[in-house]
Structure 1
Amino acid sequence: MAAQSTKISFDSIKNDIINRRFKPIYLFMGDESYFIDELTELLSENVLSESEKDFNMLTFYGVDSDVNEIIASARRFPMMADYQLIIVKEAQNLDKFEVLDVYAKNPMLSTILVLSYKHGTVDKRKAVVKKIEKIGVVFESKKLYDNQMPGFITSYLKTKDIGIDIKSAQMLADFVGNDIGKLIPQLQKLEVSLPDDVAKRRITAEMIERNVGISKDYNNFELIKAVAKKDILTAAKIVDYFSRNSKENPIMATVAVLFNYFSNLLECFWLPRKDENSVMSALNIRSSFFVKDYMDGIRNYNANKVMEIISELRTVDAGSKGIDNISATHGELLKVLIYKIMH
């Protein structure tokens, strides 16, 4: 589900846990809390039965806990169970975290120690990390890139037997950016609105418009299509809608989507071949559905114009944050931006 740059992937750890192939120590760390929480919860659900949890499951919080107390607890034997489970939440706030290397040298095989370390990482050169890697699991949970979000949405829904078309997945991705914490509640909201019949459990653009509040016709996905085609009338309608509904369509999100598109488009101009397959390969695009906007962009823009657009996007981004902008509203900034892009 997640594209991580580590030897051990989220999916492989998940599979091992479900199949009860446990390790004595897990260190989950990184900037993306979602994957850390998912794996921690999975261990909580699979290591012990409900009746075993009363005597064999302990939860510590880093800010309130002493590392020596955690080690002492980890050295105890389980009671009428194969394992005891110790979860340390907010481990990034644990004083003297590196002292855990004393335990990692000789861990109890009947104890499963889970360290949930969020909003950062432990230096992988430290002895404690190297020792955990030898006998356990060290997993770095990284933020997904924006272009990975549609795939994540599709995979997440597939695990729940819910389908979604490419356009709808992109609409949601554009709406939340790469913030999975913001995405999941929206997906849950959509899931509740689906019928019980599995064959009909499919999310559409109309459902997103009804339940999430993103217009199926006036959104960043449709704006990119219009800009790529140089469809001035459609782009103007979308920008006007954004201006009248700025709370649901913040300019920062639109600028980010446009910046990502034109940065990728600029890369296309340096390709020896500019056919669909070459563009898909260079930009790591999996579906031909998304390459159409870049093929339109290659036809309607040139490299110099795209560089000017990227510069203008940076200026508007600064202006939307109040830099060198005395009185223009976000709606006015966006209208001027789109005009400059398309003329």
Structure 2
Amino acid sequence: MKQLRKDISAGKIKPVYFLYGPESFLKEELAGLVKTRAFDSTEEADLNTTILYGQDITLGEIVSRASEFPMFTQRKLLIVRHADKIRKAGSPKLQKQHIEQFARYCSNPADSTILVLDAGEMDSKELQKAPWKDLRPFRHDFLKIRHPDVFAAERAESYGWEFEPEALKAFSAYIDPTAREIAREIEKLVMYASSQRKKGRITANDVYDCVGISKQYNVFELEKALAAKNLRLCSGIALMIMEQEGLKDGMMNILRYLTTFYMRIWKVHSPGARQQPLSETAKMLGMYGKQEYFAKNYLDYASKFSLQEVERSLLALRRTDAALKG
């Protein structure tokens, strides 16, 4: 995806883009980047950009619109949202003709049109069928973000800022792990940090202040109390988190964090896990980038919690999750 953005930013724009997957924010952002780089001014971009919706248009109509020459400019941008819901033609015969027209267009797209097809989540079998198979050379998938912390760190770096390890840990634990939410919160966080100092490092205090996390009662303090096996302190922190965040949201946040906590300890208990390099342990635990810094904590936790204790805890968390979800 980095290379795709780099190419578009450099003005290397293709005549067709087929963007599919659940991360709508990233697809919209990429289409916006195409729009910015394809035209000399905002006015020209607005005048020569058309947005259509799949449920309102057929393949034949898309080909027809894409084949039209632009007015008063060298090229135009045609964006089709919900492309996976493109309306079928009135008869099977006509639909077949439309598919054939679309295949011909994909093999020789118009130089004067940039066609961006934005589709939702699609399975691999569907992508092998017409008309999607004809879009193979133009395909870019936007799957759900697998590592929100890595995405957040990269997003901050694009603004010229770097997370301190504790700050990234706090941010990743409390932000909804979607591209849209992360991007929105990073923008707010960068604005806040910029008001405190020149470009540099985002601190844990920046995250606490901007995101609204209590410095005293949060899941990180809960983790420390749990590692110390201080039941009284664990209960107190958990109650305060639920009071601050609301009963249900606070409980779900605690549940999600503790499940990750115990799953990581469970993995460290696997044969040979403690003999491998720390970087490999971090990878096994799903801790990337600056999160590797905390992988060593789990080696210590594994010595404090037996495998049986961990498995009992995971079972209790699973039952709690089922009860909360009804």
1:245-281: CA deviation from partner (whole Å, max 9, x where unpaired) = 2428521222122212222221221131404525224
Question: Is 1:11 the equivalent of 2:7?
Answer: no
The correspondence for 2:116, drawn from 98, 103, 114, is: 114
Pairing of 1:55-94 with structure 2 (within 5 A): 56-94=48-86
CA contact (8 A) 1:129 1:138 kept: no
For 2:5 and 2:254, the matched residues in 1 are separated by 35
For 1:195 and 1:273, the matched residues in 2 are separated by 41
Question: Is 1:203 the equivalent of 2:202?
Answer: yes
Amino acid at match of 2:165: I
CA contact (8 A) 1:168 1:203 kept: yes
* Alignment RMSD: 2.6
5+ long unaligned stretches in structure 1: 1-9, 324-343
For 2:218 and 2:271, the matched residues in 1 are separated by 30
The structure with the greater share of residues assigned to helix is 2
Q: How many residues align?
A: 309
CA contact (8 A) 2:38 2:45 kept: no
Pairing of 1:163-242 with structure 2 (within 5 A): 163-195=162-194, 199-200=198-199, 202-242=201-241
Amino acid at match of 2:206: M
For 2:127 and 2:54, the matched residues in 1 are separated by 20
Displacement, 1:55? Answer: 5.1
CA contact (8 A) 2:7 2:13 kept: yes
For 1:197 and 1:241, the matched residues in 2 are separated by 29
What is residue 141 of structure 1 aligned with on the other side? 142
Amino acid at match of 1:23: K
1:155-202: CA deviation from partner (whole Å, max 9, x where unpaired) = 101111123212222212111242233333322322332336873554
CA contact (8 A) 1:164 1:204 kept: yes
What is residue 24 of structure 1 aligned with on the other side? 15
For 1:119 and 1:125, the matched residues in 2 are separated by 14
For 1:112 and 1:120, the matched residues in 2 are separated by 22
Q: Secondary structure at the match of 1:216?
A: coil
The correspondence for 1:297, drawn from 294, 297, 301, is: 301
For 1:102 and 1:121, the matched residues in 2 are separated by 24
What is residue 265 of structure 2 aligned with on the other side? 265
For 1:103 and 1:208, the matched residues in 2 are separated by 49
Amino acid at match of 1:304: Q
Amino acid at match of 2:152: I
What is residue 282 of structure 1 aligned with on the other side? 284
For 1:132 and 1:293, the matched residues in 2 are separated by 47
CA contact (8 A) 2:26 2:179 kept: no
Gap change, CA 1:82 and 1:226, over 3 Å in 2 = farther
Gap change, CA 1:281 and 1:119, over 3 Å in 2 = closer
For 2:306 and 2:264, the matched residues in 1 are separated by 13
Displacement, 1:239? Answer: 1.0
Q: Secondary structure at the match of 1:193?
A: helix
Gap change, CA 1:196 and 1:245, over 3 Å in 2 = closer
CA contact (8 A) 1:57 1:84 kept: yes
Amino acid at match of 1:128: P
Question: Is 1:34 the equivalent of 2:20?
Answer: no
The alignment-based identity, stated in percent, is 25
